Chain A
Amino acid sequence: MTDVTGPEGKRRYPLRWHVMDALEGAAGVLWPRRMAPFTGWLLLAPALLLVAVLVLGMVQIAESSLHTLDRSTFLPSEDYTLENYRTVADSATYLKVIWRSLYGSFLTVVFTLILAFPYSYILVRTNSAFTRKALLVALFLPFFIGQVVRAYGWLIILGNAGLVNDALELIGVERQRLLFSFPTVVFGLVQYMLPFAVLLLAPALTAIPREVETAAGSLGANWARVLWHVVLPMARPGLIGATLVVSTLSLTDFAMPAMLGGGSQDFIANAIYDQFFRTADQGLGSALALLLVAIGSLLVGAIFAAFGAGTLAMGGRE
């Protein structure tokens, strides 16, 4: 405990108190008491500012999506037109890319949840501190590596002369061309998303008291029915949160399709990149970008509409 009484009996306060007093005084000058009702807005301001900048950028993208590229001058056209959107809608390639992104993100969600659920469950329920630590380390290690480096790792492992093909040869199976295929892209995405999903599921599972599962058992449910009737429904906020994060992140992913797909398995983000940086068709790229934002927003909106924002434990009661 800090001694607040000095040798002469005069009160001496710890330095920390003086610092706090000074800060409080400064705050009183900068943000007077009568402004208190607006403190909430003050705290929101930085985030609102960020979003505002983002919106400005979006407006600019929307504007440029309404001009086509003039191939003779390589300048955007003067007049406004919906030609870029028509190009996307008429192009079998772009529709295929959009469909591939949606399908890929759907598969990624399914496989990621199937893998993340048991992982989180064991992480939360294990009685062994060692097991928990090992699972946590294994979960966070990939975070330190980064997506691009990880994708390179997969290139080495899955390549024609990679570890997997070496192993296949050992057991007498012919070498396969594993890279640059859709399943490999989904595989890479699942591996990338797993930590996100576990991080979102673990708190939801922690919130389920062990006693509830015990009770379900004593009421006559075997483990499978406990899982189906009790654990899964109670883990719903976590499952929905993980679905949201994994689906939007993989829908908009760039690195995995680019590197593991090798140009043959492009997602929307890759197509946008090509328009901006390869063909320099800003207008078409902007149209694709807006389309991606629209699809992503619709997806999130649909999930909220179906399950309600309240299930994410964000205010309101269920």
Chain B
Amino acid sequence: MEETALTVRVHDVSMDFGSGTKAVDSARFDLETGRFLTVLGPSGSGKTTLLHMIAGFLKPTAGEITINGQPVDALPPHRRSIGMVFQKLALFPHMTAAENVAFPLKMRRWNPKGIPARVSDFLDLVKLGDYRDRRIHELSGGQQQRVAIARALVFEPELLLLDEPLAALDRKLREEMQLEFRRIQKELGVTTINVTHDQREALVVSDEIIVMDGGKIQQKATPVALYQQPANDFVAGFVGVSTFLDGSATEGGVEIQGTRCAGTHMTDIAAGTPVRGGIRAEQIRLGRSAQAVADCDTRLTGHVSDMIFEGERLLYVLNCPALPGVDIQVYYHDPDAFDLFEIGSEVHFGWRARDLRIFRAAR
């Protein structure tokens, strides 16, 4: 077996609960040692099922999972070397923070003499050194997260799995913990698979992202590549805010109800094929006069139908007579003027051909 620094190989793994569609359909990917992978998808996309199969809570109905070259399908969870942080943390309420962290060491029969020192090291790692003797209910939400991380990592697992542990936290704490996960993961170099429906979290923490939908892996890429080159309209829609234009393909663009829009074909698409174009809200230019969009390949006019203040920026929703039935979403950022366009006012907008990504209309 060629031992490159490969930790996890998921080989055509499927899970069929017998409900018609497969929860996970022929998932296949490799994960290199020390990398932080996020499986991103909406609820019901099969991401949690995939994670539970890797953890050993579910047995795949087809395919094979290997960890460090070893097939693990026959191993029950307690024989796998996997640390997991659960959605609801699943800490032991009848134990202190230190006892929670010591639990896997005791269960895995570490030398009892070394356990207290190792527990202290890991509580320090997650900055909980002063809280070792607290009961779980005496800790705040963020501190409980840290106990859960320490408990999952203290026994040197080959793999760390994160099952949406941050989903229940408020936004500020969640963002803080994202960076904390990232720091600890880099410090220990542990191979990590994280599951989330939060695209921001995926972009912030990951080395690589897998986007799942309907049980299928849609794309595996680095965060930047995923953002810049989405493989299909689902990925384009799930990561970031996009406006979609449904029409038929033309040479160098798409035609929507008679309006030709300049865009880039993401695959080889023949003219006349039904396609779906997606353009990100931050890639549409907006101005009061035609001059503002002079360097755009497509230039249109429309009316502001809604304006949403998001703090650091504004989201304008535009209606355009040339693109009937489409709500065009545009991010606008001007530190000096926030109330530039009133609702109902006429605006010029446009985009460059490379920013409108055109996919085959598969769905």
Q: Which A residues contact B (CB, under 8 angstroms)?
A: 209, 211-212, 214-222, 225, 229-230, 233-234, 236, 317-318
Residues of B within 8 A of A221 (CB): 78, 103, 107
Interface residues on B, range: 20 to 34
B172, CB-defined interface residue at 8 Å:
no
B93 touches A214 (CB 8 A): no
A212 touches B90 (CB 8 A): yes
Residues of A within 8 A of B137 (CB): 317
| Whole-angstrom CA separation of A230 from B90 in the bound complex | 11
| CB contacts between A and B, total, < 8 Å | 63
Within 8 A of A (CB), among B93-111: 93-94, 103-104, 107-108
Max chain B Cβ within 10 angstroms of own Cβ: one of A211, A215, A221 = A215
B18 to chain A, nearest CB (A): 14
B86 touches A220 (CB 8 A): no
Residues of B within 8 A of A212 (CB): 90-92
User: Which residue from A217, A225, A236 sits with its C-beta under 8 Å from B77?
Assistant: A217
B254 to chain A, nearest CB (A): 47
A243 to chain B, nearest CB (A): 18
A235 to chain B, nearest CB (A): 10
State whether A215 and B107 are in contact (beta carbons under 8 Å apart), knowing that A220-B155, A221-B78, A318-B135 are contacts in the complex. Answer: no
| Whole-angstrom CA separation of A220 from B155 in the bound complex | 10
Closest to B90 in A: A215
| Whole-angstrom CA separation of A225 from B77 in the bound complex | 14
| Whole-angstrom CA separation of A214 from B152 in the bound complex | 13
Known: A211-B88, A218-B56. 11 other contacts (CB 8 A): A212-B91, A216-B107, A219-B78, A219-B103, A220-B104, A220-B108, A222-B76, A229-B103, A229-B107, A230-B92, A318-B94
A217 touches B135 (CB 8 A): no
Residues of B within 8 A of A318 (CB): 94, 135
B53 to chain A, nearest CB (A): 13
Residues of A within 8 A of B56 (CB): 218
- Chain B, 79-90, contact with A by CB distance < 8 Å: what is the 0/1 string? 010111011101
| Whole-angstrom CA separation of A4 from B155 in the bound complex | 65
User: Which residue from B77, B84, B88 sits with its C-beta under 8 Å from A209?
Assistant: B88
B87 touches A211 (CB 8 A): yes
B265, CB-defined interface residue at 8 Å:
no
| Whole-angstrom CA separation of A276 from B103 in the bound complex | 58
User: Which residue from B83, B84, B90, B94 sits with its C-beta under 8 Å from A233?
Assistant: B94
State whether A214 and B78 are in contact (beta carbons under 8 Å apart), knowing that A219-B151, A317-B137 are contacts in the complex. Answer: no
A210 to chain B, nearest CB (A): 9
B249, CB-defined interface residue at 8 Å:
no
User: Which residue from A214, A220, A236 sits with its C-beta under 8 Å from B57?
Assistant: A214
A-B CB contact pairs (8 Å), 24 listed: A209-B88, A214-B57, A214-B86, A215-B84, A215-B86, A215-B91, A216-B92, A217-B76, A217-B78, A218-B57, A218-B78, A218-B80, A218-B83, A219-B78, A219-B103, A220-B108, A220-B155, A222-B78, A229-B103, A233-B94, A234-B94, A236-B94, A317-B137, A318-B135
A186 to chain B, nearest CB (A): 32
Residues of A within 8 A of B67 (CB): none
- Chain B, 42-60, contact with A by CB distance < 8 Å: what is the 0/1 string? 0000000000000111000
| Whole-angstrom CA separation of A217 from B152 in the bound complex | 12
| Whole-angstrom CA separation of A233 from B104 in the bound complex | 17
| Whole-angstrom CA separation of A195 from B135 in the bound complex | 33
Residues of A within 8 A of B107 (CB): 216, 219-221, 225, 229
| Whole-angstrom CA separation of A214 from B48 in the bound complex | 14
| Whole-angstrom CA separation of A215 from B94 in the bound complex | 14
B107 to chain A, nearest CB (A): 4
Residues of A within 8 A of B104 (CB): 219-220
User: Which residue from A209, A220, A225 sits with its C-beta under 8 Å from B90?
Assistant: A209
